[in-house]
Structure 1
Amino acid sequence: MPMIQLSTGIPALFEPAQGDQRRGGLIVAQEIFGLNANIRALCARFAADGFDVLAPAYFDRIEADFIAAYDQDGIQKGLSAVRATSWDQVTADTQAAIDLLHQTQTRIFVTGFCWGGTVAWVAACRCAGVTAASGFYGRMINMFLAETPKAPIELHYGDNDPGIPLSLVDEVRAAHPQVPVHIYPAGHGFFSDRGHDFDPTQADLAWARTIDLFHRS
Structure 2
Amino acid sequence: MGETIRLRSPLDGFEFDAYRARPDDARRGGLLLIQEIFGVTDHIRELADGFAADGYEVIAPAFFDRLERGFAADYSPDSIQKGVAHSIATPWAQVAADAQAALEALEGPRFVTGYCWGGAATWLVACRCEGVAAAAGFYGRRISELVDETPRCPTILHFGKSDASIPMEKVDEIREKHPELPIYLYDAGHGFVSDRRADYHEDSARLARLRTLQLFARNGGGSGRGDA
Q: TM-score, normalised by structure 1?
A: 0.97
Cα deviation per residue 1:83-103 (whole Å; 9 max; x = unaligned)?
A: 1111111000000000111xx
- Aligned counterpart in structure 2 of residue 44 of structure 1, from 39, 42, 49: 49
Aligned to 2:151, the other structure's residue is in SS state coil
Q: Which moved more, 1:59-68 or 1:123-132?
A: 59-68
Counterpart of 1:119, as a letter, is: A
Is 1:71–2:72 an aligned residue pair?
Answer: no
Question: CA shift at 1:23, angstroms?
Answer: 0.8
Is 1:111–2:113 an aligned residue pair?
Answer: yes
Question: CA shift at 1:106, angstroms?
Answer: 2.1
The whole-number CA distance in structure 2 between the counterparts of 1:182 and 1:215 is 18
Is 1:53–2:55 an aligned residue pair?
Answer: no
Aligned to 1:60, the other structure's residue is in SS state coil
Aligned to 2:64, the other structure's residue is in SS state helix
Aligned to 2:65, the other structure's residue is in SS state helix
Question: Are the equivalent residues in 2 in contact too, given 1:18–1:49 (CA < 8 A)?
Answer: no
- Aligned counterpart in structure 1 of residue 21 of structure 2, from 15, 35, 39: 15
The whole-number CA distance in structure 2 between the counterparts of 1:194 and 1:50 is 25
The whole-number CA distance in structure 1 between the counterparts of 2:140 and 2:117 is 6
Cα deviation per residue 1:136-186 (whole Å; 9 max; x = unaligned)?
A: 000000111111100111000000000001111000000001110000010
Counterpart of 1:179, as a letter, is: L
Question: Which 5+ residue runs of structure 2 have no aligned equivalent?
Answer: 10-14, 220-228
- Aligned counterpart in structure 1 of residue 102 of structure 2, from 92, 97, 107: 97
Task: Give the 5 Å matches for 1:1-217.
Answer: 1-8=2-9, 9-19=15-25, 21-101=26-106, 105-217=107-219
Question: Are the equivalent residues in 2 in contact too, given 1:18–1:51 (CA < 8 A)?
Answer: no
Question: CA shift at 1:41, angstroms?
Answer: 0.4
Counterpart of 1:16, as a letter, is: R
The whole-number CA distance in structure 2 between the counterparts of 1:132 and 1:210 is 9
Counterpart of 2:83, as a letter, is: G
Query: Highest relative contact order (Cα 8 Å, sep 6+), 1 or 2?
Result: 2
Question: Which 5+ residue runs of structure 1 have no aligned equivalent?
Answer: none
Cα deviation per residue 1:17-38 (whole Å; 9 max; x = unaligned)?
A: 122x311000000000001110
Give identity over the alignment, percent: 50
The whole-number CA distance in structure 1 between the counterparts of 2:111 and 2:210 is 15
Counterpart of 1:49, as a letter, is: D
Counterpart of 1:13, as a letter, is: Y
Q: Which runs of 4+ in 1 moved over 3 A?
A: none
The whole-number CA distance in structure 2 between the counterparts of 1:2 and 1:22 is 17
CA RMSD of aligned residues (A): 0.7
The whole-number CA distance in structure 1 between the counterparts of 2:103 and 2:125 is 10
